[in-house]
Chain A
Amino acid sequence: MSVDASAGLSNLEGHHDVDITWPWTRPGELRRGSTAVVRVKNEAANLPFALPPLLRATDRVLVVDNLSTDGTPEVAAETAARAGLADRLTVLSYPYEVARAGAEHLAQHERSVHSLVYFYNWCFAQVATTYSWKWDGDMVLTREGELSLRDLGRQVGREPAVVRLPRHGLYLDDDRHGYVDLGWRNREEWGFPTGPDFVYGKAFEWEIRRTPPRVRRVVLPDLLCVELKHLHGDEFAHWTDPESFATSWRNQRKRREWELFHALRDGRVPGGVLEVTAPEGVHVVDYVTRTWLPRRLRV
């Protein structure tokens, strides 16, 4: 079973509205530059933090909404307009339910419109630039993170290079109070060239970006990006159930998040987690990304 990256893709259900035409088969060449692809469902609370630095760091941001009920597309548009960068934003809608990570995902064929693989391939098929960033609606860059993505996005050209970016969980208790997890180093791959060697395939719990045998990797420093977790929300809704990340080492990050989330909700602060209180009048996300993390990198 594999995704054909030379021809287009249609789905098992015959929904032609989401047939996939690969960008490298369209007339004309891909534009030099980078596009961030943000696949979101109910991220209205996070996008005002996540989008502005991402819009500054890339040439284009593509927000793909998947059946949100909280006004996510409108918030995305308003946020970009407030940042003065509305011309860099495109909001699209993917109108089919997508399987949650874990058992539900495993049960889906990768050519189904309900598969994470098909969903991701459809999203990235909308990219028209030579490089792309996979991005989550709850990931917020620091200023240095923003500069790093922008520089690499401009320098990478047509090099087959993959960029890893460490991110740190920021668990939000309220607007001024939260916890940063510096006890866990998670260096996922987020940057990929646009091309037939870099399409999505199926992995056990989720999708996986395929890469050619010889690919160059760049690892960015720690402390440039946080992932927002709302202690009073449901942070695991995109997983089938906790059993889905209970066994493999592949899921250890998710287990760590599960443990931290519940420990913090119970009033315990695990090792490697630092409590942060923002000054009066400053939101804790702004404080952590603009002051607290950069200060830790200062000489």
Chain B
Amino acid sequence: MTDEQGQAGPPEPADYPRKVLFVAGAGRSGTSTLAVLLQIMGLHVPRPEVAADASNPKGFGEPRWVVDHHDALLAEAGVAVGDARPQAWFETGRLAARDEERARVARWLEGHFEDGRELVVKDPRLSWFLGLWRIAAERADAQPVFATMLRPPAEVAGSRQKYYNNKLGPAHLTASWVNMLLHTELATRDSTRVFVRYADLLDDWVRTTQHLGETLDLRHVLDARSEAIRDGHRFIDPSLRRITVTLDELDLPRPLRELTAETWTELDALADPGGDTADRRATLDQLLDAYVTLYSEAEAISRSSVVAATATGGLPGGTVDRPGVSTGSTDDRGARSLADRVPHSWRAKVPPSVRQGVRRALGRTR
């Protein structure tokens, strides 16, 4: 349909109110798919972005600065990206309480509103710092809104094992999923939020995205141009969901398996219209209590392993999930190399051809 002459044209994005959409959820849950799709709709992903690779050939939709900054904060907090400890939330939370940290993140956001009034910030590490980003957005006079991607935990664990060759095992991966998702739900409870099933996004992205746009009042989605919709169809590929595993195939300890299954049932229902109810939140509170108890019991009976690992420098059967070192999804891109610790502004001065050669020499794709 074309606008008639004299009829009001579509609203100008420059007039949209400032908003930041934070895309949370475990890595390999479709967070990249949603972020890139919304970028196609016209929301702005702050640049430079993390480049696509074999694990995510259509791109990550991740601002490089956010990834680097989260890595630095996680290292300082002594927290791993896929940390299964409930107590890890306090370690990252205390960093978020610092005034200078709030100011730094707010300044970074502020600098990107010139390029777009509706920003998308996505990173698998984001859940650890949701409070920090919410405050930073408000300091930048923008409304923070949240979308949490949901994918069955067995598929997430399976995908992380396949694409990132994670050696810590399905029980750890599943526990870290429970820890991250339950805390993400809790942390976004009092904000404008939406839960999105990865399967729904792949099955009917138009309906799913419209629901998201309406719930979060994202003008770029509500006012999407025809060409953006066509690009959306070119981008979404239902075959993206390549891993279909069930919890039964993961051979989990029974209490963890039951807790994970129940957690998924409740989280999954949050994505239904009218599913975000007080009763469901109360059930999720109980599940979080159960997880905290389960983890502290496991911790209490496995101290010999920790003592032995401290003495020998590693846990039996796998690499150590080191603080600030990504494990998992894009969280499992391997240990931070020396190059990763060089500030981005310096790395950017190295010619692309040289960077490519160095990466090849190190056996890395990114």
Contacts and interface: CB of A to CB of B under 8 A. Distances in A.
Interface stretch (B3-11, B85-93, B263-271): B85-93
B140 A299 contact: yes
A155 B135 contact: no
Contacts of B131: 147-148, 151, 155
Nearest to B101: A221
Does more than half of chain A's interface fall in helix, strand or loop, or is it mixed? mixed
B138 A151 contact: no
A227 to B, nearest CB: 19
B139 interface: yes
Interface in B78-131: 86-87, 89-90, 92-94, 96-99, 102-103, 106-107, 109-110, 131
A216 B138 CA distance: 28
A154 B97 CA distance: 13
A159 to B, nearest CB: 5
A32 B289 contact: yes
Contact of A220 (B97, B134, B190, B289): B97
Given A32-B289, A56-B190, A147-B134, A155 B139 contact: no
A154 B187 contact: yes
Interface in A149-173: 150-152, 154-159, 161, 163
A297 interface: yes
Given A220-B97, A221-B102, A298 B140 contact: yes
- Which range contains the number of B residues in contact with the other chain? 20 to 34
A292 to B, nearest CB: 15
A83 interface: no
Interface in A4-43: 32
Interface string B122-164: 0000000001001100111100000000000000000000000
A56 B93 CA distance: 19
A221 B99 contact: yes
A237 B57 CA distance: 69
Contacts of B292: 32, 157
B107 A161 contact: no
A216 B90 CA distance: 11
Interface residues of A, number: 27
Contacts of A150: 190
Contacts of B99: 221-222
A218 interface: yes
B190 A159 contact: no
A219 B97 CA distance: 7
Contacts of B106: 298-299
A82 B187 CA distance: 25
B45 interface: no
Nearest to B99: A221
B187 A299 contact: no
Contact of A32 (B87, B187, B288): B288
Contacts of B94: 152, 155, 161, 216, 218
B287 to A, nearest CB: 12
B187 A151 contact: yes
A157 B86 contact: yes
Given A147-B131, A219-B97, A298 B190 contact: no
A32 B186 CA distance: 12
B97 A218 contact: yes
A157 B89 contact: yes
Scoring A151, A158, A299 by chain B CB atoms within 10 A of each residue's CB, the highest score goes to A299
Interface string B252-293: 000000000000000000000000000000000100110010
Nearest to A166: B99
A217 to B, nearest CB: 9
A257 interface: no
A143 interface: yes
B90 A161 contact: yes
A70 B131 CA distance: 38
Q: Closest 10 CB pairs between A and B?
A: A221-B99, A155-B93, A151-B131, A155-B89, A299-B110, A299-B106, A155-B90, A159-B90, A218-B94, A299-B107
Given A159-B90, A219-B97, A299-B107, 4 more contacts: A151-B187, A157-B87, A297-B102, A299-B103
Interface of A: 32, 56, 143-144, 147-148, 150-152, 154-159, 161, 163, 216, 218-222, 294, 297-299
12 contacts: A32-B289, A144-B135, A147-B131, A151-B187, A155-B94, A218-B97, A222-B99, A294-B138, A297-B102, A298-B140, A299-B103, A299-B106
